[in-house]
Amino acid sequence: MQWETVIGLEIHTQLATQSKIFSGSSTAFGNPPNTQASLIDLGMPGVLPVLNREAVRMAVRFGKAIGAHVAERSVFARKNYFYPDLPKGYQISQYELPVVGRGQVEIVLDDGVTKTVGVTRAHLEEDAGKSLHEDFHGMTGIDLNRAGTPLLEIVSEPDMRSAKEAVAYAKKIHQVVTYIGICDGNMQEGSFRMDANVSVRPKGQAEFGTRAELKNINSFRFLEKAINFEVERQIELIEDGGTVVQETRLYDSDKDETRSMRTKEEANDYRYFPDPDLLPLEIDAAFIADVVAAMPELPDARRARFQEQYGLSTYDADVLTASRALADYYEAAAAEGGDAKLVANWVMGELAAALNRDGVDIGDSPVAAAALGQLVGRIRDNTISGKIAKDVFAAMWAGEGDADAVIEAKGLKQITDTGAIEALVDAVLAANAEQVENYRNADPDKRPKMLGFFVGQIMKKSQGKANPQQVNELLRKRLDT
Amino acid sequence: MSLSPEEVAKIAHLARLAVTDDDKVALGRDLSNILDLVAQMDAVDTAGVAPMAHPLEMAQRLRDDRVTEGDRRDRYQAHSPAVERGLFLVPKVIE
Amino acid sequence: MHDKTIAELSTALHAREVSSAELTRLMLQRIKTLDPALNSFVTLTEDQAIAQATAADARIAAGDAGPLTGVPIAHKDIFCTRDVRTSCGSRMLENFIAPYDATVVGRLEQAGAVMLGKTNMDEFAMGSSNETSYYGPVRNPWDTATVPGGSSGGSAAAVAARLCAAATGTDTGGSIRQPAALTGITGLKPTYGRCSRWGMIAFASSLDQAGPMTRSAEDAAIMLTAMAGFDERDSTCAQRPVDDYVGALRASIRGLRIGIVREFMGDGLDAGVAAAIEQALNEYKALGAELVEISLPNAGLSVPAYYVVAPAECSSNLARFDGVRYGHRCDDPKDLEDLYKRSRSEGFGAEVKRRIMIGTYALSAGYYDAYYLKAQKVRQLIADDFRRAFDQCDVIAGPTAPGTAFRIGDKADDPVSMYLQDIYTIAVNLAGLPGMSIPAPHSGGMPVGLQLIGNYFDEARLLNVAHQLQLATDWHQQVPAEFA
């Protein structure tokens, strides 16, 4: 039997506001427990929520970034359930009328084919607190600092057909939310959390199979592994005559498996109803226009512009626009360096390798964009060769100063004085009379390869500083005439 | 309209209320009486009527995104039933 | 001195006939002597009261005083009061010391009012007799074998017994007006959104509204002036200016059209109450008002709709009482579920549990449309009825409650008959309109309340209409003999 996988994702993105969605508490990460839990976040008797404008603006920004309809009127509802990290006994969310309606994003698959994935909706809600299971004499500790942090829950259509597609979609959403500055995208800190709805069906069957919901996945790698494990599990189960039950499963990254979360006796009954403490959220055209006017350039548009403006290949443009920080870096370096393609090679080559090797974020690169641009400028103006530039870069990375300082300190300035190069050429030719003889007698086809020998000798003699182009020209003049 | 003890037990669990078997019978009767009262609404045709969630036709007001609350943990936890190292304690939560 | 209204006390305080400190001590002494018979207070804030009174005296001396400065009042124990126990009539909050002040409390303090203490109430404001309080029933000063009404029964009894000049109350389905009627005082439930709900422990958020309970319409105007107004901490609070309630009192009501609700004057209304209401309406005619008969065809469905909407909201609002962060927590919970279930079952009384159960049921999967959505549609029909009625009249008048105060224990075992106490008041909450209860002539020696209902934000007119009756009659000046 041929099986087809069907995947939909629900992604919770923490919005990068200063204060919480319904209270004036800070949303900062990592402070001592319950020091950012106000009366409202604690669900004290008598407290009331007031909605944060910036959270709404961010939700609208996302909606407009994915071409979605932004609801003129949306409603906050209460999702009722008991859990210690949920102080009020309900989560304020949006149910029937979300702020962002249907939209879509495009993902590029491994074979280069573009696929459109539908976004069903995105709605605003509040985050819960955290349960700490360290040992408090067999008790669990509750920290409500995170309670009330604004979330935008982005729900996709069940449009993905493989773990790879799901990862491509998740990365795309990650790219969009970080590009438009509504989420810091920090997965370790839980700013971007994924749930995957996974089912399988015989190829050709129209109806969906029964799905399992994989909860709280916080890396793209785990997303891929969790889905793959779950797909295998479901197929094996069905092929062994079993049936998939609709349930919530947890991915255990240590064991690389998914396991059922204790099925509670009662099915979840969240008893949603409109929150009477909040009024309908009305968003008018002026509000939307204001958000759109402040919208940063979106990744797809930027990629197209990079190809157009800088003459980059699709691949290069893709890589360089993968994150807003990288694209910003590249543009700043290109502006300084002058040769956009050469700068692109440096960013994707030497810089990317160094970042990767040392595990450094582009934002923390010890070689700033302008400094890299200056280095490329020194290649362009023949101050140094490309080869020497790599040594200069290494020195810059090590904190030895900018390109000019390193070149100066190490005496790496290229020899471009014709007289000096002539002297080098003549010395090398004199010392290798036999090879000169061979060259002159050789078939013209074989000569270019033989020329390399002399170039190598001259470069060695100049400690790499002779301008290779001039060396080549002079050599030919001497040998071919 | 009559609620069985099983239904009463199910609702009580959703509401996290403990009920004894005697409670279930008495509550079943009380709740059924209330539901009979509520059932009077069935007499009126509400087709096409917009549900009224709120008495006033106002839209949600928006707050500026400013941090206005500081750390008041000691004050807010002064009368909490079980606190340790700033955390509220509950019996072990098993996931 | 204790029998004076706010308006009279203010004059006396400003004339230095009495200091606020003296007045406050006098009232505290009265409470200690007389309240054991009533149980209207659950907490006395003596030290704080004396401190506030002293500060008020300084303000009066400095010429920086308003009409409430130095006037001793009480707060229903549903309002959070900083550093003072706020129990909401429940065991759940027996040891809850509120870490903040409700907006209404803060505003009255700003105005210079002196808080004597917190008044008893039905648990979480759920009740119409004050018998559901964990702290024992409140007794009606007119006959201590009878109830004072509820849920603001403590505030009503305290004002009627002259233990404080005025008190705050809250009204979700009649909880200010019905006890005001049963104890012979003046109670006003403002338009939904007129007073901030911040710090007022929620029962049913789309219905709850704070208001004053006083001895006269004039006092209600003074109190409301201080209590009302926009509050940025309450999303449902109206952003509109507060009218000049005191200034509007004097206007003539000649030509005023008073709507008499046909459906409210028929079956189910006690004959003595009906006669008293007739007498009050005749007085209005004598004052030049015109009586027009109106109809609220769907008002009969207000009790059924209310007993879906209010319990649904309360089931969610009261979920926060879980024994984790504050309030009652059971001993030695064996697991999380045990913590929840025992803490809540021990902390809540029978009526609260009933309403949580009803609300949980009404919102649960498969029943939402039949109950909650249906109730919201009926609510719309009721609001539409009022909208049409106000095309024909300026205010609506009728009985506040179907009878006078009943005996303690009489209805305690029959929730539904208790719910019918609010048959004339609930529609007003569902629509969000302002409503008042003012004394009509007694029936059988017990107070009767005349209910006045106004259009949205028309509190100034309601107070004016009430005040004009009180200028012409002495029904509001009756004092229960033992508390004179």
Closest by Cβ to A261, choosing from B71, B92, B95: B95
Is residue C76 among the annotated active site residues? Answer: yes
What is the token pair recorded at A96? 């029937």
What is the token pair recorded at C103? 């907006």
In chain C, which residue's Cα lies nearest the Cα of B83? C325
A80 touches chain C (CB under 8 A): yes
Nearest to A269 by CA among A117, A79, A456: A79
Burial of A114 (0-12, 13-18, 19+ CB in 10 A): exposed
Burial of A422 (0-12, 13-18, 19+ CB in 10 A): middle
Using the predicted structure, report yes or no on whether residue B2 has a pLDDT greater than 80. Answer: no
Using the predicted structure, report yes or no on whether residue B17 has a pLDDT greater than 50. Answer: yes
Looking at domain B5-43, its CATH architecture is Orthogonal Bundle (1.10)
Structure ipTM over 0.90, yes or no: yes
Per-residue model confidence (pLDDT) at position A267 = 59
Chain A residue numbers touching B87 (CB-CB < 8 A): 33-34, 132, 136, 141-143
Report how far apart, in Å, the C-alpha atoms of C156 and of each of A3, A413, C130, C212, C448 are.
72, 95, 10, 10, 13
- Rounded to whole angstroms, the Cα distance separating A279 from A214 reads 33
CB contact under 8 A, A53 and B54: no
Burial A345-361 (b: 16+ CB within 10 A, else e): ebbbebbeebbeeeeee
Closest Cα of chain C to A271: distance in Å? 5
A42 touches chain C (CB under 8 A): yes
Rg of chain C taking only CA atoms, in angstroms: 21
- Which domains does chain A possess? 8-203+265-289 (no CATH), 297-410 (no CATH), 418-480 (1.10.10.410)
Contacting residues for C302 by C-beta, under 8 A, at least 6 apart: C382, C423, C426, C427, C430
Report how far apart, in Å, the C-alpha atoms of C1 and of each of A351, C11, C26, C168 are.
87, 12, 9, 21
- Which domains does chain C possess? 6-251+454-483 (3.90.1300.10)
Report how far apart, in Å, the C-alpha atoms of C454 and of each of A61, A95, A287, C475 are.
44, 35, 36, 21
Per-residue model confidence (pLDDT) at position A265 = 42
Q: How far apart are the first and last CA of chain B?
A: 38
Q: Name A273's bridge partners.
A: A78
- Rounded to whole angstroms, the Cα distance separating C361 from C370 reads 11
Secondary structure (3-state) at C341: helix
Residue A35 phi/psi, 5-degree rounding, is: -85, -10
Residues of chain C with pLDDT below 50 are none
Residue A92 phi/psi, 5-degree rounding, is: -80, 120
Nearest to A8 by CA among A130, A120, A151, A144: A120
Contacting residues for A15 by C-beta, under 8 A, at least 6 apart: A21, A54, A55, A58, A59, A149, A150, A151, A152, A182, A183
Per-residue model confidence (pLDDT) at position C235 = 98
Give the DSSP H or E segment for C213: strand C209-214
Under 8 Å CB pairs connecting chains A and C tally to 100
What is the token pair recorded at A281? 């959220």
pLDDT, block means (10 residues), chain A with 481 residues: 95 98 97 98 98 98 97 97 97 97 93 94 98 84 98 98 97 96 94 97 94 92 96 95 91 87 66 97 97 94 95 93 93 93 95 94 93 93 87 93 88 81 86 86 83 87 83 85 69
Per-residue model confidence (pLDDT) at position B95 = 60
Closest Cα of chain B to C139: distance in Å? 26
- Contact assessment for residue B40 and residue C304, using Cβ atoms and an 8 Å cutoff: yes
C322 touches chain A (CB under 8 A): yes
C236 touches chain A (CB under 8 A): yes
Under 8 Å CB pairs connecting chains B and C tally to 157
What is the token pair recorded at C464? 């004016």
- Rounded to whole angstroms, the Cα distance separating A429 from A411 reads 26
Per-residue model confidence (pLDDT) at position A263 = 55
Is residue C32 among the annotated active site residues? Answer: no
Closest Cα of chain B to C21: distance in Å? 31
Q: Give the chains touching A; criterion: ≥3 Cβ pairs < 8 Å.
A: B, C
Is residue C175 among the annotated active site residues? Answer: yes
CB contact under 8 A, C201 and A46: yes
- Rounded to whole angstroms, the Cα distance separating A187 from A218 reads 6
